[in-house]
Chain A
Amino acid sequence: MNNTFKRLLACAITFVLCFHFMLVFEYCFPQSDKASRLERISHLYIYPVFQQNWGLFVPAPSTERKLFIRYKMGSNFTPWEDILSNEIVAHKKNRLLGNEARVLLLSNSLIYELIALDSVKSCVFTTVQQNKEFKVLQFETQRYLKLQHRLTSVINYEVLLVSKGKEGNKAYYMKDLTGN
């Protein structure tokens, strides 16, 4: 390879590298400092192949969240089961078994639903919530019940979401949920 070609290639490589990291930086940098046009380009380029997020533990989580669930067996409900805490305990017993994914899955869905309910005071919901965050949480809890308890028929169940933090405690009780 002759020297001119090497120089040209070096320039091209440097350009590609700078372009890549400029867009990564633009995509990952906090929202308020972004120019909208570059943001659109970086979003097109980064997502989904170079997707990343480095706002780790920012803000520091200060709320303990619990996800209780119970289902109808015959004419009575089973006792409340704190499924997120159970998964956390299982993950603590052995960090190597991949329980991390189960904890993150339930925890993330619960966080999104609690954020969606942020402006709502503690209450009982007698009708099924229609927001997408709850649909995801409902799907996961339903499937979780079926997998963990080997349920095959239609299930009637209830969900209780609890958040305990510095700002106070909140609880949302979702009644009369049905799943196939």
Chain B
Amino acid sequence: MEHLVTYLFGDKKQTREIGWFRNALYIFLLYKVFAYLYQFDILFSETRIIYTKIKYINVIFDMVFFLNNHYRVWLAIAFIMLVAILAMIGLTKRSNFFTNIFLWWLVVNITNFLYPTLTAGDFLLNQLLLFNCFLSLKKSSSASLHDFKTALHNTALIAIKLQICLAYFLSAYYKITDDSWTNGSALYTIFQIPEFSNAFLAAIPSAVCQMLTYFTIAYQLSFPVLVWFRPFKIWLFSFGVLQHLLIALGMGLFQFGVIMIICYILFLKYDDRYEKENKIFNN
């Protein structure tokens, strides 16, 4: 219990990494705004090709399907522009809980509107933006409020990390229950499909693909455990970044690849205490 209280109410953890993580997240949102505007006709206009259906179950449901249920072109433009404005506010370090929660609500609405075009990366982005609301880098004037915010900050940080570890574990679990992954043929098969491949990937020999298939499963299975141990992180992140760049640029799931790489920022130095203890020891 004491450990838990110390963890939650001690210092705000990893403030530097969270700053980088937030900047990366806001820049990524600005990129998404650019992509939305570039594809506006096909995604948001009156003549858009996305099939949408009004989903009204209750008021809470309607809040996250607001754009979908009350669609107007100007509303779609307003949502996109507000995302851009709030992301820029975030980049200039002026965001707070309310701007971040508003940003999350806007993005969830856009995500639900574009449902048929989503990847796992979009769903993960929603989670990251929600937990991001509780991360706070500024100091509060009142001591009680500061304690409360510190507890929420540290909880949100651990929640993001747990979410990423859970994603890797589940992804690995699905793979080890599937024949094409356990017999090692999965990546070779995927690389022969033009939609998820290019000339380079399609030419990779079957034996190399088999090795990569098993390596991917091993990586995803071990990530939730090894990421908490400092010596393994350099190897995990090197392979992870390469893998996600390949997914982003080679297989064409660009946004998914990028958002996964952004998540690694929070694992860069998970244990500030380790450094402090080392400094004390060295001094």
State the A residues within 8 Å of B (CB).
Answer: 1, 3, 6-7, 9-10, 13-14, 17, 20-21, 24-25, 28-30, 48-65, 84-85, 88, 91-92, 95-105, 107-109, 135-136, 139-140, 143-144, 146-147
Contact = CB atoms under 8 A, between A and B. Distances in A.
Contacts of A56: 120, 171, 174
B196 A143 contact: no
Interface SS majority for chain A: helix
Contacts of A51: 123, 126
Nearest to A89: B194
A141 to B, nearest CB: 8
A147 B253 contact: no
Contacts of A91: 252
Interface in B163-189: 163, 166-167, 170-171, 173-175, 177-181, 185-187, 189
Chain B contact-residue range equals 35 or more
A99 to B, nearest CB: 7
Contact of B4 (A14, A52, A63, A96): A14
Contacts of A97: 35, 38-39
Contacts of A14: 4
Contacts of B43: 101
B181 A147 contact: no
A54 B5 contact: no
Contacts of A61: 189-190, 193, 195-196
A124 B48 CA distance: 29
Nearest to B253: A100
Contact of B173 (A10, A30, A102, A104): A30
A88 to B, nearest CB: 5
A77 to B, nearest CB: 21
